[in-house]
Structure 1
Amino acid sequence: MARHLIQGREIAMPVRVRDAMVCGASYLVRADAARAVIAYSHLDVAEVLPGKALCTLMFADYRDGDLGPYHEFGIAFLARPPGADHAPGGGLRANLSELRRTGAGAFVHWLPVDQGLTLEAGRTIWGFPKELADIDLRTSSPYKRCILRKDGRLVLDLLIKPGVPVPGTGMMTALDAYSHSDGVTRRIPWSMSPHGIRTRPGGALIRLGNHPIAKELSELGLPKRALATATVSHMAMTFNEAKEP
């Protein structure tokens, strides 16, 4: 079993999250603009419709896990694995199904957190682009809200209105995450077991600030209506050792 020493603490693989609350909003954005954003990774975005890519903004309250409690915000793009080819020819649902079959995964472009242990672990073990930021999560009310500031500047204020319950929660889902740091692209096998899923079309309000990441999101066309939003009241996750694809 692989082990990593992080801040004097031995972290055994795989890393487990036993309970987290996760909220996300997904947007259809111009594929050419998304390609420009992640060009440094040498990965290509997956076109879920001709000329359209999928960008997801998420925030999470990690309550119990091997890296301790912390808050996290993330920007990810659905990306094709290296060497894979997919030309969208059907509808959105059919294209997403085909992309999952061919191994498309979530390329993590930015991943601010508010605690030092997960910051160092994320960067060292998986090459995730973690940075320290001020993440104000407000999840006790029906509306779920994240106010994100970095270096004293507002990045965004994201509000999500939960939708209707989704049946069949608790099923284990496997997904590959991709990261890129120090010139190396890595694939991270990632599994999730969600409970208490709610989803809906739209359902998000977003206000962008004056941080460079906010400008990057504006160049993708945000703020705009979300394709869909989802909230998960209890999520268990497992992160395995990173591999070079």
Structure 2
Amino acid sequence: MRGTERHDPTDADAVTLSTGQTLEFPVPIDSTISSVILPADWDAAAGLLPPGLSPVRAGLGTAAVWLMGAQHRNVGGGALADYDEFALMISATAGDPAGIPYVSPLLRTETYVWYMPVTTESARAFGDELWGYPKVVADIDIEERDGRRRTRVTVDGDHLLTFAVERPPMIPRDDTLITYAVQDETLLRIEADMVGEMGLWPYTTAFSLTLGEHPKAETLRSLDLGDRAFARLFGEGRLRFPAGKPVGAS
């Protein structure tokens, strides 16, 4: 892990990134998020997960894949420059697949972060060095017009994807967003608190998705993503990210 040491989430010690910025756990971020949760082939999704995780079973032979666009501001109280982000995540939980019951992905917010382009090098170092998120620097264009938010992602000059999601009604809500990542060959669980507004609309076709020519887009095609989403989701508020805990640690 470049320039950092792993910390317990209760610590408030300063951690300095390789790019020079200093932050403290838990790291506060003001974020706007738009996401669509799509059905995918379970076996293909399982092949993208690290040992120790299995896809949430969202139906017979079906997993759930999240496409998320986000704008992050006031990171660490301004310690890090504002940046935009795209994440491809798979609904997953720790354990053997044989022991995981069928469950709606709307009731399970645990996800493994498989790919996470961001718009700045400091944002890449932030996610990679503190949690092991698979971040790369990319061009991300996020715009909202007439209640529809569009995210276009280009990596190394190749179009990865463009997706757009209609904004559902928003209500005040507190939530915990659980993600998994691998850092130094250790599977980590990160539980981020969110306070703000959230909107979720289940079983919807009010989105669009176009896959590009980037090699990662071919992997997305292999997932056989469905054209009717489990949900579309928006969120606006304050996130607080602690350090990750190794899966299985008390």
Match in the other structure for 2:231: 228
The alpha carbon displacement at 1:216 in A equals 0.7
Q: How far, CA to CA, are the matches of 2:25 and 2:152 in structure 1?
A: 32
TM-score computed with the length of structure 1 as normaliser? 0.86
TM-score computed with the length of structure 2 as normaliser? 0.84
1:71 aligns with 2:87: no
Maintained 8 Å contact 1:41/1:180: no
Q: Which one-letter code corresponds to 1:70 in the other structure?
A: Y
Q: Which one-letter code corresponds to 2:225 in the other structure?
A: L
1:13 aligns with 2:16: no
Query: Aligned to 1:172, what secondary structure does the other structure show?
Result: strand
User: After alignment, is 193-202 or 171-180 more displaced?
Assistant: 193-202
1:176-187 equivalences under 5 Å are 176-187=178-189
Match in the other structure for 2:119: 114
User: After alignment, is 77-86 or 43-52 more displaced?
Assistant: 77-86
Maintained 8 Å contact 2:106/2:230: no
Match in the other structure for 2:4: none
Query: Aligned to 2:228, what secondary structure does the other structure show?
Result: coil
Query: Aligned to 1:49, what secondary structure does the other structure show?
Result: coil
The alpha carbon displacement at 1:9 in A equals 2.2
Match in the other structure for 1:26: 37
Match of 2:101 among 62, 84, 87: 87
Q: How far, CA to CA, are the matches of 1:9 and 1:147 in structure 2?
A: 28
Query: Aligned to 2:245, what secondary structure does the other structure show?
Result: coil
1:186-201 equivalences under 5 Å are 186-195=188-197, 197=199, 199=201, 201=204
Match of 2:163 among 129, 149, 158: 158
Is the alpha carbon distance of 1:174 and 1:197 closer, same or farther for their aligned partners in structure 2, counting shifts above 3 Å? same
Maintained 8 Å contact 1:180/1:186: yes
Query: Aligned to 1:119, what secondary structure does the other structure show?
Result: helix
1:37 aligns with 2:51: no
> Percent of aligned pairs with the same residue?
25
Is the alpha carbon distance of 1:34 and 1:16 closer, same or farther for their aligned partners in structure 2, counting shifts above 3 Å? same
Is the alpha carbon distance of 1:71 and 1:20 closer, same or farther for their aligned partners in structure 2, counting shifts above 3 Å? same
Maintained 8 Å contact 1:208/1:223: no
The alpha carbon displacement at 1:223 in A equals 6.3
Residue-by-residue CA offset, 1:55-113 (whole Å, 9 max, x unaligned):
1000001122213310000011111124683222xxx54x864xx4xxx7211111110
Maintained 8 Å contact 2:52/2:94: no
Q: Which one-letter code corresponds to 2:92 in the other structure?
A: A
Is the alpha carbon distance of 1:118 and 1:145 closer, same or farther for their aligned partners in structure 2, counting shifts above 3 Å? same
The alpha carbon displacement at 1:45 in A equals 0.9
The alpha carbon displacement at 1:198 in A equals 5.3
Match of 2:212 among 182, 186, 209: 209
Query: Aligned to 1:48, what secondary structure does the other structure show?
Result: coil
Gaps of 5+ in 2: 1-11
The alpha carbon displacement at 1:183 in A equals 2.2
Which 4+ residue blocks in structure 1 deviate beyond 4 angstroms? Answer: none
Q: Which one-letter code corresponds to 2:153 in the other structure?
A: L
Is the alpha carbon distance of 1:196 and 1:241 closer, same or farther for their aligned partners in structure 2, counting shifts above 3 Å? closer
Maintained 8 Å contact 1:48/1:96: no
The alpha carbon displacement at 1:2 in A equals 2.8
The alpha carbon displacement at 1:166 in A equals 4.2
Maintained 8 Å contact 1:202/1:227: no
The size of the alignment, in residue pairs, is 230
Maintained 8 Å contact 1:81/1:105: no
Match in the other structure for 2:72: 62
Q: Which one-letter code corresponds to 1:49 in the other structure?
A: G
Task: Compute the RMSD of aligned alpha carbons.
Answer: 2.1
The alpha carbon displacement at 1:118 in A equals 1.5
Is the alpha carbon distance of 1:222 and 1:123 closer, same or farther for their aligned partners in structure 2, counting shifts above 3 Å? same
